[in-house]
Amino acid sequence: MARNVDIIGYLPPILHEIKEVVAIANIENPLLESLWQQIEDTLNNQFVVTANEQGTERYEKMLKLNVPATDTVETRRFRILTRYQEQAPYSFRVLKQLLDSLLGVGQYELKRDVTAKILSVKIELTVKGMFDAVVVMLERITPQNMDLTVQLRYNQHSTLLRFTHVQLAAFTHKQLREEVMP
């Protein structure tokens, strides 16, 4: 948040009565507030998690990421973080730690079958907007000889138990299955 600048407050009280000094101060205040905002934005853009639109654009350009125009800044930050996390080879334990840090503990289900060479990941609905970024990351870091399956983990009956039938009647079957419930 930018600072509220008041130049007149720094001047001696005797100068508060001079119209020219007050006019100059009133002109300088917005300029200095704008400068403070630019300084703050520059500091925030040094870190992915606090980057704004311009900061995420810079990271995407450096990482050569193609971004849909509909993505939010939060989704774009997530995509940048997933790219920075890609450093193969991964063990199963490190893959779990990576998914815990990106998605959150309990926000996914990870299964592997070493003999059949199958790796399956089910991602919680709360991270639905970040699904594509997770798929791309997993495709890049998992061994190529394993069959990778990434799916959304849909709402379960236990999630919907807290609602009455009247409340659920307002939703379609697809919404009940695929949308995050309030």
Domain ranges of the chain: 7-44
Confirm if 123 and 87 have CB atoms less than 8 A apart. Answer: no
| Cα gap 57→61, rounded to integer Å | 6
Phi, psi of 149 (to 5 degrees): -125, 120
Instruction: Write down the mean pLDDT value for the chain.
Output: 84
Residue type, 58: R
Q: Rounding to the nearest 10 degrees, give the CA dihedral for residues 64, 123, 146, 95.
A: 70
Q: How far does CA 12 lie from the centroid of its chain?
A: 47
* pLDDT single digits (tens) 81-116: 888 877 666 788 888 888 888 888 888 889 999 899
* pLDDT single digits (tens) 49-67: 999 999 999 999 999 888 8
Confidence class for position 181, pLDDT limits 50, 70, 90: low
Q: Beta strands of the chain (E only): which ranges?
A: 108-113, 118-124, 147-153
CB atoms within 10 A of CB 173: 8
* pLDDT single digits (tens) 132-155: 888 888 888 888 888 999 888 766
